[in-house]
Structure 1
Amino acid sequence: MVKLHALIIDDNPGVREALEDRVESMGHTFDSVGCQDDALLRLKEQGYDYILLDLELPTRFGKTPLIPTGTNLLSQIRGSVLHRHTPVIVVTAHGHDSPDLATRVFKLGASDFVKKPFDNLETAIGDAIARRLPSTERTRISTTKRHALTPFTGGDFIVTAEAVELCGVRLCENTSGRIWQIINLLCVRTAKCVLPACSGKDLADRIKVERGEKAIAEAVKTFRKRASELLAEQAGLACDGNDIIATTPRGYQLSPKLTVEVAAGVTRKNGKVAVPEKSDGEERKQWFLTQLRKGKRLTRRDYEKQFTVSIATAKRDLASLGPQIEFVGAGEVGHYQIR
C-alpha cells in the first residue's frame, strides 16, 4: 500500500513540528517548509497527496509573515497542473479565523479550514482526500505523483511539417488548428536571427481570427496546460506553461529556455524557414561579443532587454563568456568589455 505524502507549510518551527507529529501518527510521510519560496520549489519538484498551509507566511526566510503571502501561494497551487486537484487544508492561528477569511480561502480553492490547535485535523485530512477526485482521474494523477518530477531547465523544441516536439514529447500536430499556426509564426526568426515577440492582436490579424486577441489567449492557455500535463506524464518534467510560450512585455514569445529547431522544408506563406545553425544561447552570446568588439558599453540589463531573457539566463550566458569579457566599474555604472 502506497503511503500518503504531505507537504506542511508553516513558518513557526513549533507549530510545524506539531503538524509533523500529527501527520506521522496517521502513518503518512511528509516534507515541511517555512516560506513561500521553499514551498514553490518543493511543489515544482514533485506531487503531494495533500497540503497543510498556514496562511501567515513570509515570502522567503527572514521576511515578515503576511496573510496575503499564504493566499497568493494557495492561488498558485490551484493554478498548477500537477497540484490543481491536490487537497489544501488551511491551518490558521487565533485572530485570523474570521468568517470572511474562511469564505475567501474556500473561494480560492481550499479544501478545508482548520483553526489551531487543530482538534479536527485528522478528520479534515481524511474528508479532503476522500472527496478530492473521481477514481479515474485520481489514478492518472497518482501515477505521476509516485515519481518525483525533474524541474524543466530547457530542451530541444523541434518543429517539423507534421508536429511540434519538446524533449521527445509530441505537444501538437499540424491538425491542431490555431495553436499550430501560432507556434509556426513564433518560430520565424527576425533579421537579427532572434525569435520574435508577437502581441495577441498581431497574431490574430495574421491568422485572421474573428474573435481576435481573446481567441489567441484561449489557444495559448489551453496549449500551456496540455503541454505541462504531457511533459509531466511522458517525460517526468515539471514544466510551467511559460517555460514554452512565454508572455513578455512585447507579447507572446517562445521561451529562451528552448533550443528551437525548424526542420528543413517547413514552409510558411512567406516562404521557407532556414534551420538555425546555432542554439539561441550561442546566438545571443555571439551578438553580445560583436557589440563589445565594436566598442559598445553593455550591461547585463542590456542583454536581458535585447533578448527578453530572465536575470538567471543572462547571468548564466555572461558567466560562460568569462574568458573573453570582463566587467569594469561598479554597480549601475559598470559595464562589460572585451578582455
Structure 2
Amino acid sequence: MTFRGGRQRGAREEAARFETRLTAFGELLAAHPFSADRPDATHEMAVEYARALDAYEAAKRAAARDLALAGRELAAGLTALNRLNAHLVGTATPEAPAPAVAKPEARRPEPQVEAEAEAAPVKGPHEVRGPDVPRPRAPGDRARPRLRDRYTSGQLAKRTGVTVAAVYLLVLAVLGSWWLALVGLMALMMGGGLALFGGLLGWTSVTQIVGAVRGGLVSAEYVRTTKKVSYALREAPYQHFYLYVGADGEKVTYQRDALSPSLAALPTRRLWLVKGGGRTGMETHLSGLLVPPLMFLLLAFGVPLFLFGTVAVLYACPGLLIRALAG
C-alpha cells in the first residue's frame, strides 16, 4: 500500500510539474508580439504561429491521458515558436548600407522561449540552432519553400478537396452544361455539410455512450488552483484541478471553475469517469447519468442527417457525371 501510494503521489507531482510548464507556454503564446497584421508578417510566420497554438491545444488534451505524448506536443510547439522567431529575424527590413568602419545597428531581440531540459532546446531569435529549425534566409534568397513547409496538414487537405471539386464541376460543365455544374455544386455543398455534421454528431454520441457505460464513479484528488491563460467575460478566471490515477496508471484530470484563488476546494470529489472511443474524461454525477439518454437522442438526430447528406453527395458525384455522359 505504501509503494502504491508513493507511486500515485509521484504521478501527481509529475502531472503538476508538466501543468506548470504548459501554463507558462500558454502565457508566452498570449504575450508573443507576433500579429498577422504587422507590416512584415508573411504566410510562413502565420503557419508557424498556428502550429504553436495547435501544439499547445494538443498538449492540453493529451496531458490528461498521456504525459509523454503531451511532452512531445509541447516540444513541437516550442520548436514552431522558435521557427517563428527565426522568420521574424530573417525577414526584418535590411538596414541602409553603412561605411565599412561603422558597426551595424543592433536589432531589438525578440522574446526568448524558455525550455525545460526534457523539452526541445529553444534559443532566442538571434541564435536558432538544431537540424529542424531553418536558418534565416538572406535577402537575396528566393528559394520557394515546399508545400508541407508552407501549409499545415489541415490547410493542405482543404486545398486538395477544393481543387478536386473544382475540376469535377468543370468536367460536368464541359460534358453536360453549366446548369448541371451549378446543381452539382449545390448538392456537394449541402450534402457534404450535412454528412459531415451528422457524422460528427453520431460519432460523438457513440463515444459518449460507450465511455459512460465503460466508466463509473471514481474519486479524484485535488491538485492545485491555477489562473486561466485567457477567459471570456462571463467565465471564471481560476480553475481547481483534480486528478484521478487509474489502476493501470492512466491519469485523468478534471477542471472546476473558481471565481477566486482563495475559494476553498474539496480535497476529493466523486466524479463519473467517461472512458472510451479515444476520449477519456470525468463528469459530475448528474452529467454522467444524463449522458446516455441525451446521446441517444443526438444519435437519432445525427444518423438521418448523415444518410441524407451522403445521398446528396452520391447524387452529385458520380450521379451527375453519369447523367452527363449518358446525354
- Which has the bigger relative contact order, CA under 8 A and spacing at least 6? 2
Structure with greater strand share of residues: 1
TM normalised by structure 2 equals 0.28
Scaled by the length of structure 1, the TM-score of the pair is 0.27
Structure index of larger Rg = 2
